[in-house]
Every structure is written in structure tokens, then in C-alpha cells.
Amino acid sequence: MKNSIKQFNLILILLISSSFTVFSQTGSIKGKITNKGGDALQFVNITIKNTKQGTISNEDGEFLLKNVKVGDQTIVMQFVGLKTVESKVNVKANSTSEVSFALEESSSELSEVTVMGVQSANEKTVNIGKIAIKPMDLPQAVATIDRTVLERQQVLRLSDALMNANGVYIMGNTGGYQEEIAGRGFAFGSSNTFKNGARYFNGTLPEMSSIEKVEIMKGSTAILFGNVAAGGILNLVTKKPKFESGGSVSMRLGSYNFYKPTVDLYGSVLGSKKVAYRINGTYENGESFRENVNSERVYVNPSLLFKLSDKTEIILEGDYMKDRRTADFGIGAINYVITGLPREKFLGVKWSYFDIKQQTANVTVNHQISNNWKISGTAAYRAYQSELFATTRPTSIATNGTLVRSIQRSEVDEKYLMGQIDLTGQFKTGKIAHNVLIGSDVDSYDTKTTAYTSAVYDTINVFSETIVDKRSDRPTLAVNTITTAPVNRFGVYAQDLVSISDKIKFLAGLRYSYQETKSSALAVRTNVTTESSAYDDAFSPRLGLVYQPNKKMAFFSSYSNSFTLNTGVDIYGSALKPSLIDQVELGMKNELFNGLLSANITVYQIKNSNLAQTALFDKDGKANSNTNIRELAGEVTSQGVEVDIKSKPFLGFSLLAGYSYNETKYTKSNIYIVGSLLRYNPNHTANASIYYTFSDTKLKGLNLGLTAMYFGERMAGRSTRLTVANDAFKLIQVNPYTQIDASVGYNFKKYSIRGKVSNILNELSYNIHDDNSVNPIAPRMVSLTLAYKW
């Protein structure tokens, strides 16, 4: 028996050794492609002749082909308007062959109308999806706002970028220090906002100078991330290290004494072919169209790339941001009517502030096991600290304009840890192809919130021509409560995209999530601690079907289920169960005019059929007035349609446009009027951007752009309560508006100059939270950016 075991072990070792020998008989081809003028060419198609292996060059003209068979291989390089080039490359085992090419213009092709070889909206996979599935094969609406758009529009804030995304919008900016995001009628909290795949605290303004692209997955993503809001998720992808040395420096100047120098450096470390770096940094300082409001920011984003081999790489990334700005809760409302004060009028005290510090660190390991299998792991850490010291929101302005100002102070200290591992692979069972994702994630929050007592400060009249502070001191406030709220989550998930044929594909997946939520609140005055805990778990299924009658068209349908946790207890004192949310989505994706234009349409319904609301009666049948005692008695339904249009560059023009309609309302409620709309969500949004770049003329290097966004009518204020006699709550109707921005840029060799005029029509509208943070949108403003790139 022992001899048999030894023989078996010997055979097994030989088989494993031979397998490694077979797999090792591959190498890599690394190269760079330029035109005859030495300029890097992006989106050149590179393939190995007589195989299906291929890739495209990046923005620096670089490409890398992995796992290429040893020996002489012929690579083919194709780009519309340039001559196709074939070249032999000798590939050696376990090594990288480096090549470079300069492509020439093709007169025969240039005489025709051509489309540049950029990827369409339906060809770009999103990193946040955890698996490389082309949008054409995915039964879900996705969108990517890439660096080209961000640079052309001279994006400063995330809200500028979201002018290009219908159905995802800014629902408020409470205090002027954050941009509250929503989509399809549901708010995106920090659980729905990601940076490089890790959850990012969105209670402050993210720095956009380091962002390479913005990814949006609409609808349910619960299978990938657990309890996320139903409307979708947003992922900010930062710029990555490069082995080629380069960089840029720029200075942005703008209205209201705004200035922002920025630096971006990248290259190999000490000439190494294994280690590359990148570092972005910026300083920002400016005043505001709002009186006595200003801001200052410091930001740095270093990263390192380690190429351990052709199959294994490690990326280390981190950033640090320190931001200080005036807390500004807007112009207020009187009896649920906006005061109508001048856009610039500030009702707070001059010394008020909101300070934040945020540090993040990420490590990502990618290993290509074989041509078809890949394993990836990510670990992330985030530390966030903030302090708010300001007047409270102007909630009780008298009809004559009298406002008693009170002072508030609070501090937040949050630590966040995340770990994630994913295995992706492709294989076949007979003629059926599979694209599989198997993964697990765990994350942990530890949040400490210190709330101080509030105190009356002084009294002003908001209609006074000039607001004069009657005091200038910062009062001493006593600590009121200290609350710690640890949250621990764990999830495992599996998903398979099954290609039954070239035309029919089926997506199926399932996730199990477990979450522990605890809270400990210390009332400092009484030294009494109140504790609570909840343990929740849920399964989140996902099913989708894609039918592609041809390679340029796809029809899809999908069903998914997600959950959201609830606070409070039921009438028996037990922790309230999670609310379950069902989503159905139907759509069509098209590549029209031979891929020149992507045109997609999506319709959806999202239903939370067990929405938590205040219980009407307690366990003894008596009327209940405790808002912490709740029941799953409500229902919210969101229905809508979205249209997305995006073109490739054509004769110098490029187009990006979209439209969305959404209606989110109470379809069952024991508190609010059935049929009433949820607040902050516009029924209609639309966007359109058009750009033109001059070429082969005396104006070569000049580009022009126009961006328009329509933001429809929506409601703020407070929803009327059926359970309160003569309820004084009212909704505030917020007017629609259209914002138009114009941009112009000129590139000359390594220099560029860009100008922008935002809100050309000087439109006035408001972002409103309840009835107490009524913040006007920015008026017409001008900015100018000078840059040098090498």
C-alpha cells in the first residue's frame, strides 16, 4: 500500500512538473506605437496573426501581449487612416521581447470618410464590475466618463462630471461641503461610492484632478457589494503609474480669486523595468460667490506599480486630503417658501468652518494564472476625521426675517478596512462558454461621533442689507453625546455569464451577506450609555438574459434582489429586519452606423415592498408616537426610462447625450399620502455635449466644446403626514433649470491653454435638504488653465 502511495505521489509530481513546463513555454511582447512625427498612437489594434490573441495600445501608444507561444510570431497593427503593418517578433520563453513601430498614413484610406479607432460606450468594461464583461454582453446599464471628457470639460467637482450622466445626479449639497448623489430615485450613501473599488466617504468633495475616469453601474449591484442602495454605484478610478517618464504641471485660475496649481509625475523608478511610480498633487484656494465663504485644500496621491513578472503585478496606492471650508447652509425658507434672498447672501457666522482630513491606502494584487484564469486581491484602509463648528441650519426664520442663530459643533472619527479576493475565468462545457466570477469580501467600519450641546448665539434679520454679526467669539460648548458605531460585513458570491450561442447569453449569480451593526451612545451629562445591536443576513440573487441578433445589437432583461438595513425596533423591541428590494430591468443596446454611434435605451422598475415606517400602534394596541418603534408597512416604487447616446470622433466632431425619466413615489404608506413623490428626485434630466477639434488646417490644435444639462422640477421640504392632525409640513417645489457650459482649448506642442465659461445663462435654482439647507447653484463663472506636458 505504501509503495502504491509513493508511486502515485511520484506520478502526481511528474504531472505537475510537466504542466508547469508546458505553461512556461510562453513569453510576452511589449511595444510602443507612434506616427512618423513621434506622437503616441492610442487604440491601435495589435493582433497575433492567425490567432485570437490581441490588444489595443494605451494613451501612451504602449501595448503588452502576454502568454504568447515561443518562436517567431507575426504581429499585425491596424489603425484607421494608417497603413497596416505586419512584423515578425521572436518570442522567448519566460521573457519579454520589446519592439517599437512608427505607422505611416494611408492615402487610400484617408481619401474616405473614416471613424477614429476609439472604443464605443458598449465596448468599455468597468473595473467596478469585478469581471471583464463588455457592456454589450451585460444585462445592465453602465456608463464611463473617461479622462478625455474630464479634461475637455475642465472638471473641477464630481457634479461637473455627472453633467454627462443621465439618471445619476446631485440631490443636494448640505452645508456647501458635500455633493449628495442619487440615482433612479435613491440616495447614494458612502456604501454606494467607491474609489479604486473600495468604499469612499462621500460626505466631502472628492478631488478630481487625480481621477482617470468615473464609472457608473446603474440599478442593483447587491450581488457584488451587499447592501448598497438600489439606484446604482459610482467608482472613481485614479491615474495609474507608467514606465515611460513624463508628467505635467498646470495652473487653473477662476472667478472669485480661485487658483489651483497641479502637478502629475510618472515614470520608472531608477530606470527599472519592474517598478514604476506616479504622483499627483494639488493645492486649491478660493473664495465663493457666497459672501464670507472660502475654501482651502491640499491633496497628494502617490502610487507604485510592481511588475513581478509577466503574470503578476502589485499596485500600491494612497492619497491624503486636508480640506477646510466655510460651512454654509444657504438662504433658508419661511413657511416652506424659499426666502428669495440674493444668491450671494450668507446667513452664517464668518468664523464657521468644516474641517476634514482623509487618508486612504490600497494594495491590489493581480495574477494571471493562465490565459483564461485570473485571481485578484484588494486590501484597503481609510481614515476620516471631520469637525463642524458653525451656526445651525436656518430652520425658523420669522415672516419679518428674524432669525435666532444657534451654534452647533460635532466631530467624526471613522476608520474603515476592506479585504476582497476574486477569481475570474473562462471555460467551455461542450459548445457552451462560461465567464465566471467567484469571490468574497469583508469590511469593517469603526465610527466615533462626538456631538456637542447647541447654544443660542445671536439674532439677525435676514432681510437686512448687510448681515452684521453681533458676536465674533467662538463659544465653548459642552460635549453632549459620544457615539461609537462599529459595523462588520462579510459576503461570498458567485456569478456565471453563460454563452449558449453567439446570440443568446444568460447571467446568473447569488450572494450571501452577513452584517453586524452595533451602537453605543454615552450621554455625558447623565453618564448613561445606551447600547443596541443587530445581526442581519440576506441572499441576493441576480438573473439576466441577453439576446444579440447581430454583433451590433443586444436586447436584455434582468431581475435582481437587494436589501437595505433599517434602524429602530419593532413593536416587540426586537431589531427591525432589513427591507428587501426587487428590481426588473429591460433594455436595448445598439452600435449604429458601423460603430460610429452607440445608442442604448433602458426601462426599469424598483420596488421596496416592505419599507420601514413609524408604527401606528404599540404592542398593546395603543397609539404610538415613538419614531424609533417602526414597522415594515410602506412601499416605494421607482419606474423610469433612460436613453444614452455616444459617438466616436467623426470628422472632428464627437457627441455625448442622454435623457432620463423617473418617478419615485409612495405606493403604500401608513404615514404619507399614497401616490406622493419622494423628495429631491427630478422626473426629467437630460444632457448633451458636443466637441469639435480642428485638424490639418491653420487652426490645428484648437478644440471647442458645449455642454448642456437640464435638471427637471423636483420637491423638497417635508412630506405631509397623514397621522398628524392639521399637519404643518409642506413640500417645496423647486424650479427646473438648464445649465450650459462652453469650453475652448488650444494645444501647441507640449503646451496647452483651456478656458471655460460655466452657467452661461446665469440660471438660478437651488439644492435643498428638507427646508433648512437651501443652497443656490453657482452663477456664471470663468476659469482659465495653463498647462505644460512632457
Whole-number Å distance between alpha carbons of 680 and 456: 30
Residues 6+ apart with CB under 8 A from 542: 220, 222, 223, 495, 507, 508, 509, 510, 511, 558, 559, 560, 561
Whole-number Å distance between alpha carbons of 92 and 359: 43
Least confident of 48-62, 401-415, 709-723: 48-62
pLDDT at 50: 84
Q: Which fold has domain 238-789?
A: Maltoporin; Chain A (2.40.170)
Whole-number Å distance between alpha carbons of 242 and 263: 15
Mean pLDDT of 457-466: 93
pLDDT at 37: 59
The strand pair at 26-35 and 96-103 is best described as: parallel
Q: What is the per-residue pLDDT across 361-379, written as a single tens digit (0 to 9) for each?
A: 999 999 999 989 999 999 9
pLDDT at 441: 96
Q: Where are the domains of the chain?
A: 2-110, 127-237, 238-789
pLDDT at 108 over 70: no
Q: Which fold has domain 127-237?
A: Ferric Hydroxamate Uptake Protein; Chain A, domain 1 (2.170.130)
Whole-number Å distance between alpha carbons of 145 and 124: 10
C-alpha cell at 305: 506599480
pLDDT at 159 over 80: yes
The SS3 call for residue 168 is: strand
pLDDT at 564: 83
| Backbone phi and psi for residue 473, each to the nearest 5 degrees, phi listed first | -85, 160
Q: How confident is the model at residue 81 (pLDDT cuts 50, 70, 90)?
A: low
Q: Which fold has domain 2-110?
A: Immunoglobulin-like (2.60.40)
Whole-number Å distance between alpha carbons of 259 and 261: 7
pLDDT at 117: 42
pLDDT at 8 over 50: no
pLDDT at 132: 86
pLDDT at 228: 84
Residues 6+ apart with CB under 8 A from 397: 332, 333, 334, 339, 403, 462
Q: Which residue reads 462579510 in cell numbers?
A: 490
Beta strand extents in 255-346 (DSSP E only): 258-268, 275-287, 294-307, 312-325, 333-334, 337-338
Least confident of 214-223, 267-276, 573-582, 712-721: 573-582
pLDDT at 27: 85
- Residue 198: CB atoms within 10 Å: 23
pLDDT at 59: 67
Q: What is the DSSP string of 35-47?
A: ETTS-B--S-EEE
pLDDT at 116: 38
| In 111-206, alpha helices (H) | 147-152, 158-161
Whole-number Å distance between alpha carbons of 255 and 251: 14
pLDDT at 20: 39
Whole-number Å distance between alpha carbons of 87 and 65: 14
Q: How confident is the model at residue 12 (pLDDT cuts 50, 70, 90)?
A: very low
State what percent of residues in the chain have pLDDT above 70. Answer: 94
C-alpha cell at 472: 465674533
pLDDT at 114 over 50: no
pLDDT at 609: 87
Mean pLDDT of 696-724: 88
pLDDT at 576 over 90: no
State what percent of residues in the chain have pLDDT above 90. Answer: 61
**Distance (Å) of CA 29 to CA 68, 75, 419:** 8, 9, 33
More confident residue, 618 or 463: 463
pLDDT at 220: 84
pLDDT at 201: 85
The SS3 call for residue 665 is: strand
Whole-number Å distance between alpha carbons of 170 and 163: 9
Whole-number Å distance between alpha carbons of 143 and 149: 13
Q: How confident is the model at residue 119 (pLDDT cuts 50, 70, 90)?
A: low
Mean pLDDT of 122-136: 85
Asked if 41 and 34 count as a contact pair (C-beta separation under 8 A), the reply is yes
pLDDT at 14: 44
Whole-number Å distance between alpha carbons of 71 and 527: 77
| In 406-548, alpha helices (H) | none
Whole-number Å distance between alpha carbons of 468 and 256: 22
| Backbone phi and psi for residue 600, each to the nearest 5 degrees, phi listed first | -125, 145
Q: What is the per-residue pLDDT across 167-226, written as a single tens digit (0 to 9) for each?
A: 899 988 888 898 999 999 998 887 889 999 999 887 889 999 999 999 999 988 888 988
Mean pLDDT of 231-247: 93
pLDDT at 118: 56
Residues 6+ apart with CB under 8 A from 465: none
Candidates 495, 529, 327; CA nearest to 422 is: 495
pLDDT at 31: 87
User: What residues form DSSP beta bridges with 789?
Assistant: 248
Asked if 73 and 87 count as a contact pair (C-beta separation under 8 A), the reply is no
- Residue 107: CB atoms within 10 Å: 9
User: What residues form DSSP beta bridges with 193?
Assistant: 234
pLDDT at 275 over 70: yes
The strand pair at 432-452 and 402-429 is best described as: antiparallel
Q: How confident is the model at residue 580 (pLDDT cuts 50, 70, 90)?
A: confident
Whole-number Å distance between alpha carbons of 230 and 561: 9
pLDDT at 487 over 50: yes
Whole-number Å distance between alpha carbons of 569 and 1: 63
Average pLDDT, the chain: 89
